[in-house]
Amino acid sequence: MSEKMFVSGNDAVALGVRLCRPHVIAAYPITPQTIAVERLSNFVEDGSLESEFMHVESEHSAMSASMGASAIGARTFTATSSQGLLYMAEGLFYAAGGRLPIVMMNANRSLALPWSIYGDLSDSLAVLNSGWIQVYVEDAQEALDMVIQGFKIAEHAEVLCPLMINLDGFVLTHTYELIELPEQDAVDAFLPPFETANKMDLNRPVNMGMSTTPADNLEYKAQQHRAMMRSKSIAQTVNDDFAAAFGRDYGGMVEGYRLGDAEVALVTVGSITGTTRLVVDALREAGLAVGLLKLRYMRPFPEEAVASVAQNVKALGVIDKDISFGHEGTIFTHVNSAVTLNGKAPALVNFIGGMGGRDISKEDIEQMFHCLLDAAKGNAQERVQFVGLGVEIDE
Amino acid sequence: MNRPKVVTWKRPTKLSEYPTGPGFEAGHLVSENAGWRTFRPVVDTDKCTGCLRCYLVCPDGTIYKEAGKVAVSYDFCKGCGVCAHECKVGAITMVKEDGE
């Protein structure tokens, strides 16, 4: 029988990692990820996880050590957040180009300056181009389940791309929830040991991490891109197989909520989805045709799913807990690009808020829906809006 | 001294012919690489005692033994002169490449 536990998001990740039996964990602690790494260290110490825990001196070293481990065919896990993710940025691209399927937890946290330990999506969205599959979860159970699914997707012979599981800092990492811990036997059956031909092997010596001349470079990049694109269908299969084995279905690349006859919809990423569901339910009670589209992956980007939702609504809003200064929210940019697949677009509004740990309240989301409903009537809206800005813009 | 041979490399015509990630079987030489040599080391095999000090210091692994005698692979020697500098019996002379 699977066990019910009351744990934090960080605990849930650590428990999920233990079930996956990684050979190597190389990680450096950083708020708000620290507890996940501490728990894993405890598991190795108390013997409940047979794994090599490498105490490294920085995130750059954590990623470098993870690459070395993965390059001998070891199942490898690491975890970081914010400044730490940026510090390992060089290694992120390296690991992806080397086709090393490392799985990492990232606790989404603001980037300095101003210095802040609180949450937003600036960190992971800054490294979208690194070649890592990016998953965003809504709660602790999904975090745990995506660690298991994550290894299965990343290590798939048709994928071999590293994978990052993103949890909102504090909102998910430090809050406690009831979770169901899958049985070890069931996880072992779902996730067989990692096998790859792309490794150092005394019986088949290879040179790894080579340079190329311009004559061959683009081919490797094309190959990497195609592997990422293939991971879309593999992620769907893994989601469905996981649902069949463990009874929890996350939909796949996206999850729609009450979109059926929705006139307007909000696109959400991460924990804000939970709050938005409540607002959708309340507004539906009041007779308003609103829905939500939860993006579970930012890489590969589920553009077909976004386009298909955009086709059926009059207005589409995007909540961005990030901003690409001088342009707009990064998720909004992606949604806009996907919408062009249709040839015609609904009204589009970008809501920027929740940065540096500021709360996005139910009232804020209700206002976003009212803005979208007004846009659906054909009334022009400000395209990029700050939500919950505490002062008037007068400069 | 099991030296890899230069083998002819057939360029891939399909993406699937590239390895997954930039790695491939070790010991695989596909081109000669000595174009920038100005001086070539020439071994006087009469003076040479076969101590192989030159083999140990060569940064490019171009020194080997052929029929019991020390030789240099000019396909890969860059002409750095470390071998000539380190030879204790003066058996290696750096000779200017002619007319190139």
Q: How far is CA B12 from CA A94, A220, A224, B16, B62, in A?
A: 23, 12, 16, 8, 29
Tell me, yes or no, whether A391 lies in a domain.
Answer: no
Tell me, yes or no, whether B6 lies in a domain.
Answer: no
- Pick among A210, A218, A221, A225 to test the B interface (most B CBs inside 10 A): A210
**Distance of alpha carbon A49 from alpha carbon A45, whole angstroms:** 8
Domain identity same for A280 and A310: yes
Domain identity same for A309 and A222: no
Tell me, yes or no, whether A356 lies in a domain.
Answer: yes
B15 contacts A222? CB cut-off 8 A = yes
Place of tokens 């095999």: B45
Q: What does B22-34 look like in DSSP terms, one character per residue? A: S-EESS-B-S---
3-state SS class at A348: strand
Q: What does A214-231 look like in DSSP terms, one character per residue? A: HHHHHHHHHHHHHHHHHH
Structural domain ending residue among the three candidates A194, A212, A246: A246
User: A-B interface: how many C-beta pairs under 8 angstroms?
Assistant: 50
**Which residue range is the domain that position B85 belongs to?**
34-96
Domain identity same for A75 and A222: yes
Q: What is the CATH number of the domain that holds B42?
A: 3.30.70.20
The structural domain count of chain B equals: 1
Tell me, yes or no, whether B17 lies in a domain.
Answer: no
Question: What burial class does residue A178 get, using C-beta atoms within 10 Å of its C-beta: 0-12 exposed, 13-18 middle, 19+ buried?
Answer: exposed
B19 contacts A97? CB cut-off 8 A = no
Judging contacts by C-beta atoms under 8 Å, the chain A residues touching residue B19 are 198
Domain identity same for A205 and A108: yes
**Which residue range is the domain that position A341 belongs to?**
254-386
Q: How many CB atoms lie within 10 A of CB B63?
A: 24
Q: Which long-range contacts (CB under 8 A, 24 or more apart) does A214-221 make?
A: A216/B18, A219/B12, A219/B15, A219/B18, A220/A97, A220/B18, A220/B21, A220/B22
CA distance B70 to chain A (A): 28
Domain identity same for A23 and A40: yes
Tell me, yes or no, whether A270 lies in a domain.
Answer: yes
Q: What is the CATH number of the domain that holds A143?
A: 3.40.50.970
pLDDT level of residue B10 (50, 70, 90 thresholds): confident
Q: What is the pLDDT of residue A284?
A: 98
B23 contacts A208? CB cut-off 8 A = yes
Q: Provide the CA A282 distance to its chain's centre, in angstroms.
A: 27
Q: What is the pLDDT of residue B99?
A: 58
Structural domain ending residue among the three candidates A246, A265, A284: A246
Q: Which two tokens stand for residue A326?
A: 């001088």
Domain identity same for A226 and A261: no
Domain identity same for A94 and A218: yes
Place of tokens 């691209």: A93
Tell me, yes or no, whether B15 lies in a domain.
Answer: no
Tell me, yes or no, whether B49 lies in a domain.
Answer: yes
**Distance of alpha carbon B49 from alpha carbon A386, whole angstroms:** 81
Domain identity same for A150 and A281: no
pLDDT level of residue B2 (50, 70, 90 thresholds): low
- Nearby residues of A341 by Cβ (< 8 Å), 6 or more positions away: A303, A304, A307
Tell me, yes or no, whether B92 lies in a domain.
Answer: yes
Tell me, yes or no, whether A394 lies in a domain.
Answer: no
Q: Provide the CA B94 distance to its chain's centre, in angstroms.
A: 15
- Nearby residues of A108 by Cβ (< 8 Å), 6 or more positions away: A81, A82, A119, A120, A121, A123, A124, A136, A166, A167, A168, A169, A270, A321
Domain identity same for A84 and A193: yes
Do the strands A24-27 and A52-55 form a parallel or antiparallel pair, or are they unpaired? parallel
Give the chain B residue nearest A213 (alpha carbons): B22
Give the chain B residue nearest A159 (alpha carbons): B20
Tell me, yes or no, whether A393 lies in a domain.
Answer: no
- Pick among B11, B17, B20 to test the A interface (most A CBs inside 10 A): B20
Domain identity same for A240 and A258: no
DSSP H or E stretch at residue B54: helix B53-57
Q: Provide the CA A159 distance to its chain's centre, in angstroms.
A: 17
Give the chain A residue nearest B21 (alpha carbons): A98
Tell me, yes or no, whether A66 lies in a domain.
Answer: yes
Q: What is the pLDDT of residue A182?
A: 98
Helix residue ranges per DSSP H, chain A: 9-19, 34-45, 59-70, 82-87, 89-97, 122-125, 140-154, 184-190, 214-246, 272-285, 303-311, 330-339, 362-376
Q: Which two tokens stand for residue B21?
A: 């990630």
Tell me, yes or no, whether A395 lies in a domain.
Answer: no
Judging contacts by C-beta atoms under 8 Å, the chain A residues touching residue B27 are 205
The structural domain count of chain A equals: 2
In order along its 395 residues, chain A shows pLDDT tens digits of 689 999 999 999 999 999 999 999 999 999 999 999 999 999 999 999 999 999 999 999 999 999 999 999 999 999 999 999 999 999 999 999 999 999 999 999 999 999 999 999 999 999 999 999 999 999 999 999 999 999 999 999 999 999 999 999 999 999 999 999 999 999 999 999 999 999 999 998 888 998 999 999 999 999 999 999 999 999 999 999 999 999 999 999 999 999 999 999 999 999 999 999 999 999 999 999 999 999 999 999 999 999 999 999 999 999 999 999 999 999 999 999 999 999 999 999 999 999 999 999 999 999 999 999 999 999 999 999 999 999 999 98
Domain identity same for A230 and A302: no
Tell me, yes or no, whether B8 lies in a domain.
Answer: no
Tell me, yes or no, whether B67 lies in a domain.
Answer: yes
What ipTM describes this predicted complex?
0.84
Judging contacts by C-beta atoms under 8 Å, the chain B residues touching residue A222 are 15
Judging contacts by C-beta atoms under 8 Å, the chain A residues touching residue B23 are 98, 198, 206-210
Q: What is the pLDDT of residue B11?
A: 87
Q: What is the CATH number of the domain that holds A352?
A: 3.40.50.920
Domain identity same for A91 and A143: yes
Tell me, yes or no, whether B28 lies in a domain.
Answer: no
Residues A160, A224 contacting (CB under 8 angstroms): no
B24 contacts A160? CB cut-off 8 A = no
Do the strands B92-96 and A24-27 form a parallel or antiparallel pair, or are they unpaired? unpaired
A47: left (phi over 0), alpha (psi -120 to 50) or beta: left
> In this structure, which amino acid lies at residue A234?
I
**Distance of alpha carbon A156 from alpha carbon A227, whole angstroms:** 10
Residues A113, A145 contacting (CB under 8 angstroms): no
pLDDT mean over B32-52: 92
B95 has a pLDDT exceeding 60: yes
Residues A185, B6 contacting (CB under 8 angstroms): no
pLDDT level of residue B3 (50, 70, 90 thresholds): confident
DSSP letter (8 states) at residue A47: T
Structural domain ending residue among the three candidates A246, A266, A287: A246
Tell me, yes or no, whether A8 lies in a domain.
Answer: yes
Which of A131, A103, A94 minimizes the C-alpha distance to A26?
A103
